[in-house]
Amino acid sequence: MPQGSAKPPESPGSGPSGSPRRVEFEALYAQHSREVWALAYARWMDSDQAMDVTQEAFLRLWKQWEAGDDIQNPRAWLLRVARNLAEDFAKSAFRRNGTQPPELLNGVRSSQPMPVEKLEQEEMFAQLRAVLEELAPADREILTLRYALDYDANTIAERLEIAVTAVHMRLSRARQRLAEKLSSHGDFGSDQPRADD
């Protein structure tokens, strides 16, 4: 998940660190970075790539401001840029060729040995991520907002700019499709997302 705050680059005329524009930027990052991250994560299922696209989206916002552009709805602008970055990544040769960073190829994430329970949990999460990748991006997005970020239906409706009833319907359908995928894999038993939205 995004942590800390983005630091826009210094440039001529950007002013001191306490300038109103910089304060506004920091406030926007605090308010919207989780949602931008969640959108990217729902597309890629990769927290590092999601953080990269979050930082890139906010950097582009800062550059637009520096160029003198007036962005009326920064949240909508950031989400649109994040979606475009996610699509660009998905279409890239790197993604098509299935190239993975060295730490994934090596299967080593820590210098310390992990307990058997931790290994089993990691294996289960890896299987679950593989199943989630089979879902449509829209399903992954709404499931991420509900279960990864723990947003309630009203918050999701506000974030996606849809009716609360539409949120319930999309969640229900996404959970059903996820349950069908999980049951077809046969390794998860009853471990499915809770239905209390």
Q: Kindly tell me if the per-residue pLDDT of 111 is higher than 70.
A: no
Exposure letters 122-131 (e unless 16+ CB within 10 A, then b):
eeeeeebeeb
Mean pLDDT of the chain: 74
Q: What is the mean pLDDT of residues 112-122?
A: 60
Please write the tens of the pLDDT for every residue from 32-78.
889 888 888 887 777 888 888 899 999 999 998 888 888 889 898 99
Tell me if 25 is assigned to some domain: yes
Are residues 115 and 60 part of one domain?
Answer: no
Q: What is the pLDDT of residue 177?
A: 87
Tell me if 72 is assigned to some domain: yes
Q: How confident is the model at residue 5 (pLDDT cuts 50, 70, 90)?
A: very low
Among 94, 124, 141, give the residue marking a domain's end: 94
Tell me if 9 is assigned to some domain: no
Range of the domain at 66: 20-94
3-class state of residue 167 by DSSP: helix
Q: What is the pLDDT of residue 163?
A: 92
Tell me if 169 is assigned to some domain: yes
Q: Number of folded domains in the chain?
A: 2
CATH number of the domain enclosing 76: 1.10.1740
Are residues 27 and 79 part of one domain?
Answer: yes
Please write the tens of the pLDDT for every residue from 127-156.
777 777 888 888 888 888 887 778 888 988
Are residues 121 and 78 part of one domain?
Answer: no
Are residues 79 and 46 part of one domain?
Answer: yes
Query: For residue 142, how far is the Cα from the chain centroid?
Result: 11
State percent of the chain over pLDDT 90: 8
Q: Are 171 and 142 in contact (CB under 8 A)?
A: yes
Contacts of 163 (CB under 8 A, 6+ apart): 157
Tell me if 67 is assigned to some domain: yes
Q: Are 135 and 150 in contact (CB under 8 A)?
A: no
CATH number of the domain enclosing 169: 1.10.10.10
Q: How far apart are CA 9 and CA 62, in angstroms?
A: 8
Q: What is the pLDDT of residue 93?
A: 42
Q: How far is CA 35 from CA 21, 30, 43, 142, in A?
A: 21, 10, 13, 11
**Structure-token pair, residue 130:** 């593989």
Q: What is the pLDDT of residue 126?
A: 73
Q: Kindly tell me if the per-residue pLDDT of 169 is higher than 90.
A: yes
Tell me if 133 is assigned to some domain: yes
**Structure-token pair, residue 101:** 């960073």
Are residues 180 and 114 part of one domain?
Answer: yes
